Amino acid sequence: MKLLEVKNLKVFFPIKDKLFGKPTKFVKAVNNVSFEVEKGEIFSIVGESGSGKSTIALALMGIHERNGGSIIFNGAEVNQEDFKTLRRKIQIVFQDPDSSLDPRKRIKEIIAEGLRVHRVGDKAFIDEKVRDIVEKVGLTVDTLRKYPHELSGGQKQRVGIARALVLEPELIILDEPTASLDVSIQAQILNLLVDLQEALGLTYILITHDLKLVEHISDRTLVMYLGKVMEMGETKQIMNKPLHPYTKALIDSVPVPNPEKRNENEEILTGEIPSPLNPPEGCPFKTRCKYRMELCSKEPKSIKLENRVVFCHLYESKNLEV
């Protein structure tokens, strides 16, 4: 069952030469991105910094207005004015708990804020709900009277998760949820998220650059580069046999304990990601791709192959294997 459908999503940011002048350029952070999220799955969006991952997350929350495309949630199309009420059903856990938690408020107020904003229950109901959700994320009730600066990084991220869960959403967006934490704490938070997803029947959209994390918990994966979709399909298939040259380079760039045992056929990304203000015409990855050809100056079409979608002229022209 489809919980979320995103069709041809566009998010452009205007650039002005003068403070009160008209926009002269646009940063095409997300350009014609389409995907679907099934109820109860973990759907990952991966790519380098600047690929548009977090912009998609903020567009799905209504924080960034979209310039085109449609968002359909539970079969109903979502307009910009619908997001205020929709946030009861879609919540987000931000990457940095230090900047996402109000330092002037106690933990109890932070977690209960969503319930008060949406006018869910009376004071007694809110107090009980907050205590219950705090225990579910592995914190003690004593934590509720503290301020964020009195907690560790892992505890603060648990507060962020509790704040997202308290409204009983159907979809939670996890924007790099473990990136700012120590490695040992990352494993604890990851296990907590998986346990909560199974216990509460949640649906996750995981935004990350950590391919090992994706391989461990994700059902399906969308690979992005410079605001465009490169490849999308089941995570196991993508990790075991990537089709797009960019996907393969991303996987091959993951550090290994013994670099001398790397496969000779591995591809390491070279060069810098182009500026989104002046992206390459045609395939956005062509400036860093060793398979580039004259055809790459044209926009690649969506090719369905092995239960996946890939945007690459290699398969469109000669169906070559990468």
Residue 226: per-residue pLDDT: 94
Residue 320: per-residue pLDDT: 47
Above 70 in pLDDT, residue 311?
yes
State in Å, rounded, how far the first CA of the chain is from the last one.
33
Report, as an integer, the average pLDDT of 146-160. 94
With 0-12 / 13-18 / 19 or more C-beta atoms within 10 angstroms meaning exposed / middle / buried, residue 173 is: buried
pTM of this prediction? 0.91
Q: Provide the 10 A C-beta neighbour count for residue 170.
A: 18
What would the pLDDT profile of 76-119 be if each residue is shown by its tens digit? 999 988 888 898 999 999 988 888 899 999 999 999 999 999 99
CA distances from 169 to 145, 160, 174, 264, 310 (A): 25, 14, 13, 46, 31
Residue percentage of the chain with pLDDT more than 70: 94
Above 50 in pLDDT, residue 2?
yes
Residue 227: per-residue pLDDT: 94
Query: Which domains can be identified in the chain, with CATH numbers?
Result: 2-89+169-247 (3.40.50.300)
Structure token digits, residue 24: 């002269």
Query: Using an 8 Å Cβ cutoff, are 166 and 111 in contact?
Result: yes
Edge to edge, what strands does the sheet with 76-77 contain?
A: 23-38, 2-16, 68-73, 76-77
DSSP state of 289: -
Q: What are phi and psi of 146, to 5 degrees?
A: -90, 165
Above 80 in pLDDT, residue 254?
no
Strands 42-46 vs 171-175: parallel, antiparallel or unpaired: unpaired
SS3 string, 152-188, reads: CHHHHHHHHHHHHHCCCCCEEEEECCCCCCCHHHHHH
Above 90 in pLDDT, residue 15?
no
- 211-239: string of b/e by CB count within 10 Å (b at 16+)? bebbbebbbbbbbbbbbbbbbbbebebbb
Above 70 in pLDDT, residue 263?
no
pLDDT grade for 271, boundaries at 50, 70 and 90: confident
Provide the greatest CA pair distance for the chain.
Answer: 67
**3-class SS at 103?**
coil
Report, as an integer, the average pLDDT of 292-300. 91
What would the pLDDT profile of 30-45 be if each residue is shown by its tens digit? 999 999 999 999 999 9
Above 50 in pLDDT, residue 321?
no
**3-class SS at 84?**
helix
DSSP state of 279: P
Residue 300: per-residue pLDDT: 92
Above 60 in pLDDT, residue 225?
yes
CA distances from 42 to 81, 261, 286 (A): 27, 32, 30
Average pLDDT, the chain: 90
